[in-house]
Amino acid sequence: MLGTATVSKSGETLDKRIISRSEHSISRQDISENALKVLYRLHKNGYHAYLVGGGVRDLLLGKLPKDFDIATDATPEQIKALFRNCRLVGRRFRLAHILFGRDVIEVATFRGHHDKQDPKKDLKQNVSRQSDEGMLLRDNVYGSIDEDAERRDFTVNALYYNIADFSVIDFANGLEDIEKRQLRLIGDPETRYREDPVRMLRAVRFAVKLDFEIAPSAAEPIQELHGLLREIPSARLFEECLKLFLSGQGRDTFLMLAQTQLLYPLFPQLKTWLPQWGEDSQEIRFILRCLENTDRRVQTDQRVTPAFIFAAVLWPLVQIREQELLTELSLSPQDAMTMAMNDVLDAQCKAVAIPKRFTSAIREIWTLQHRLDRRFGKRAYKTFEHPRFRAAFDFLELRAEISQDPEQLALSQWWDDWQKVDEAGRNRLLKALDDKGPRKPRRKRRKPTKAKPVESND
């Protein structure tokens, strides 16, 4: 093991260590074949190429990485010239995506310090830009591997696997932090959070995913700076929500976000009600139960949709708003429900830009909660054929499980039986409904009366 000390721009000493192949556990057999192709081609063409970040960290932890990201000294344009299956993406920082069917290998050029930019260049070119609060708005400044390591967020992500000699370069004692199972920021935590407030969300996500603790130096500023997330574009926060809640640890992530107050910039409407509900309330237990259900589906490779998560988290708010509208205005239950859904979703989308295809699905899941109770005649068949029936049924089943309401439990069991029987069995279920009691009488439509002809005085 070789070690050298380097001094970062902030004055912090980074203890650079090179761990030879015989001293670490990473094997090329555990690295994606497509990632190896990219690494080898970059290396053969005279560029430095490294597997970097979470891929190296997870391999050292004995986990199978979800992504294999690569860092290199080749510029995005040089990368594109080497790979016909490459496309360049990103405005904040230019990246190369190498496409192998559905598998995407992300390749980034080493990032440099902001003071390296040429002030004569246009801001749209290869330069950086910051807001008055210190947030990075544009970050296209390239540098060396040492500078790239200093620019990374957590020490456990400043690990580089060198394809040239299969060694691992550790720039910030990341291996030691992996052994301690802690997340520590490189540089001053407050400055790093101000540069990119999403790092606070990343800290929570990694802590839950890896079962690490956030180091006190990294945890303390979050209480003061969590409001900076409101400055992040709402579309980017939606992408972060997908990573937070669809990774298989959504329940624990939700609890840690609430504990660190990072939940409120994502779901501002919860700030009023979450403290009032309490940990053992039906509202919280329902949200957590839905997140557990999604976690189980993710872990068993079943399909999941963000619509179900947002529908679950926002459902208690819809019920509250519906009751407010029924009290304040003379509305029918259906109109009150429609207005409540619109009010809650409109407020939510200002914070997190949920795409229309998901807001439509959320509305359908909520609307079907009422339709599931209307089963007479052909209504049961029409509801069952609805594209969102399965998600709506799961939603109902979890509601009944948490509330233990006899009517909801009976309704949930009825629909469960419906899905398990054939046509004859469904007819029996419908007949049993008729035998239990009369249907709700329909309102008779009044026939339109013809206007009487106006009699003339002539």
pLDDT digits (tens), the chain, 458 positions = 555 545 444 445 567 899 999 999 999 999 999 999 999 999 999 999 999 989 999 999 999 998 999 999 999 999 999 999 999 998 777 899 999 999 999 999 999 875 544 444 433 344 444 555 544 445 568 899 999 999 899 999 999 999 999 999 999 999 999 999 999 999 999 999 999 999 999 999 999 999 999 999 999 999 999 999 999 999 999 999 999 999 999 999 999 999 999 999 999 999 999 988 888 899 999 999 999 999 999 999 999 999 999 999 999 999 999 999 998 888 888 899 999 999 999 999 999 999 999 999 999 999 999 999 989 888 999 999 999 999 999 999 999 999 999 999 999 999 999 999 999 999 999 998 876 655 555 555 555 555 555 554 54
pLDDT at 329: 87
**Cα 227 to Cα 249: distance, rounded to the nearest angstrom:** 24
pLDDT at 123: 35
CB 294 within 8 A of CB 308: yes
pLDDT at 331: 86
Helices (H), 226-302: 234-245, 250-260, 263-266, 270-277, 282-299
Residues in the chain: 458
Query: Nearest CA to 192 among 5, 6, 10?
Result: 10
Burial class from Cβ neighbours inside 10 Å (0-12, 13-18, 19+) for residue 119 reads exposed
pLDDT at 340: 96
**Cα 438 to Cα 443: distance, rounded to the nearest angstrom:** 15
CB 412 within 8 A of CB 402: no
pTM of the model: 0.83
**Cα 31 to Cα 212: distance, rounded to the nearest angstrom:** 24
Look at strands 49-52 and 159-162 and give their pairing.
Answer: antiparallel
* Residues 6 or more apart in contact with residue 55 via CB below 8 angstroms: 31, 35, 65, 67, 68, 69, 161
pLDDT at 185: 95
Helices (H), 119-269: 145-151, 174-180, 189-195, 198-210, 216-219, 222-225, 234-245, 250-260, 263-266
Query: Nearest CA to 314 among 223, 241, 231?
Result: 241
Q: Which residues are catalytic?
A: 67, 69, 153
**Cα 346 to Cα 356: distance, rounded to the nearest angstrom:** 11
250-260 helix and 198-210 helix, angle to the nearest 10 degrees: 130
* Residues 6 or more apart in contact with residue 291 via CB below 8 angstroms: 245, 250, 251, 254, 309, 312
**Cα 367 to Cα 334: distance, rounded to the nearest angstrom:** 9
CATH 3.30.460.10 for the 2-187 domain, yes or no: yes
Report the sign of the C-alpha dihedral through residues 423, 429, 431, 434, in that order: negative
Q: What is the dihedral of CA 311, 317, 323, 327, to 10 degrees?
A: -140
* Residues 6 or more apart in contact with residue 435 via CB below 8 angstroms: none
Tokens 């970040």 appear where?
53
Tokens 């998560």 appear where?
309
CB 163 within 8 A of CB 51: yes
Query: Where do the structural domains in the chain lie, given as residue ranges?
Result: 2-187, 372-435
